[in-house]
Amino acid sequence: MRFFLLNFVLFLMLMPSNSRSESISTVISWGEDPAWIDIASGSEIKVVASDGVSDGCWTNVAQTRDSVAIELQRSGYKINLSDDGYSASRLIISVSGYGIKNQSCAVLYEFLFVTMTVGRDLFSQKHTVMSLRDVELWRKSGIMTGPKKDMSYRIKDEFISLTQRFILEVPQLRKSALKSINDVAGLNKLKDPEAYKFWSNYELK
């Protein structure tokens, strides 16, 4: 995916300016981020766990990360668990916190899904800058307090639950993103009939 995006940017940069205006249509979407359209079953997702917890309040970090990965894999996503390398889409589970008196813990957990997109900044009619940007698509967070002996398992269960919720919401978010594009393309169908035809017939994979 990363190499595809890099090649796409180079393609746009090397394409003659008159060809760009003739062959590329632009639709401005006001709804869900259009990046959702590319997040289909079969996409690769890198799962990352960030441990900012002290005092033994999250002792099963690797097990939690693997459990999240298994949920995604069951739904058809390709999983990347390597410490090096890169994936365009990343699911980051992070926890920060510490132990408090009476063998208890207080933690802040966060579930974040980001993906890389191609950005274009227009500086004049003849000069644009293309860039690769990380876009935050889905985030959930919360606070937990309670006995230290139970905290690691509570964190794990919470991330599994959030992963399942994420998996269930992705199809609807993809449909919503496509609908937003279709709505705008429909409003401009007389001005840009080619874009309207393309998006009207576009099918989510």
Q: What is the pTM of this model?
A: 0.82
Tell me, what's the pLDDT at 120? 67
Please give the full DSSP string across 53-64, using - where no structure is assigned.
E-TTS---HHHH
Closest CA to 156 of 64, 56, 49: 64
Tell me, what's the pLDDT at 80? 92
Q: How far is CA 8 from the centre of its chain?
A: 19
Of how many residues is the chain composed?
Answer: 205
Residue 34 DSSP label: G
Coil, helix or strand at residue 202: coil
Query: How far apart, in whole angstroms, are the C-alpha atoms of residue 108 and residue 145?
Result: 9
Higher pLDDT: 195 or 32? It is: 195
Tokens 């590319």 correspond to: 38
- Amino acid residing at 52: G
**Contacts for 10-15: CB closer than 8 Å, 24+ residues apart:** 12/118, 12/120, 12/130, 13/130
- Tell me the per-residue pLDDT of 102-119, one tens digit each, with 9 for 90 and over: 899 999 999 999 998 877
pLDDT of 151 higher than 70:
yes
